[in-house]
Amino acid sequence: GTLVTPLIDVNSQGLVTKLVAPSFEYRYQYDAEGNNIRQELTRGTSKDITVFELDNKQNVAAKVIPFFKGQPDLSFYTGRENGYNFNHNMTAEKFLFADISGVEKSRGANIITYQYNSNGLPTAGSRTSTDASGNSIETAAMSYTYVGCTN
C-alpha cells in the first residue's frame, strides 16, 4: 500500500501552524506567548473554526504534561488539547463556521469563569455552553484540588 503522511508547517517557536492531509487541513494561530488562540479545520468547502480566549493566570494543567524543548506541539495527535497547551486558563471557546462566501457565523460557545486562590490558581469555576444565538443550553460546576504541591 501507499503511506500517506500529513504536511506539517512549524513556526520559529516550534508550534504547528498548518497540518495538511488528503481529506482535511488544520491552521493554527498563536498569541505572543505561544497560546493557541484560533484553529481552523477545512474539509472540502466546509470550514469549522474555534477561537480561544484566555485569562492572565497560570494554567496548572500546562505543567502536568510538559513539552520537551524543541518538540513541536502535536496536541491533535496526542490528545493534549482541552487546556494543556495553554499557558493561561481558557475563559471562552467559541465555535464558528464559515459559509460558502467566507462569512464566519456562530455555532455556539463555552464560557468559563473561575475563582482563584491567593496564588492565582483556580479553585472553582463554572462553564456555560451556549447555542448560536447566545442562549444558555448547559451549565457545569468545576472544582480544583491541589495535592502534593504548593498552591
Residues in a beta bridge with 38? 29, 51
Compute φ and ψ for 134, nearest 5 degrees: 90, 5
Collapsing DSSP to helix, strand or coil, 117 comes out as coil
Strand 88-98's sheet: what is its strand order? 7-10, 16-21, 24-30, 36-43, 46-58, 88-98, 104-116, 122-130, 136-143
At 119 the pLDDT is 86
At 4 the pLDDT is 59
pLDDT in tens, 7-44: 888 888 888 899 998 899 999 999 998 888 999 999 98
**Mean pLDDT for all residues in the chain:** 83
Q: Which residues contact 118 (CB under 8 A, 6 or more apart)?
A: none
What gap in Å lies between CA 105 and CA 81, rounded to an integer?
Answer: 23
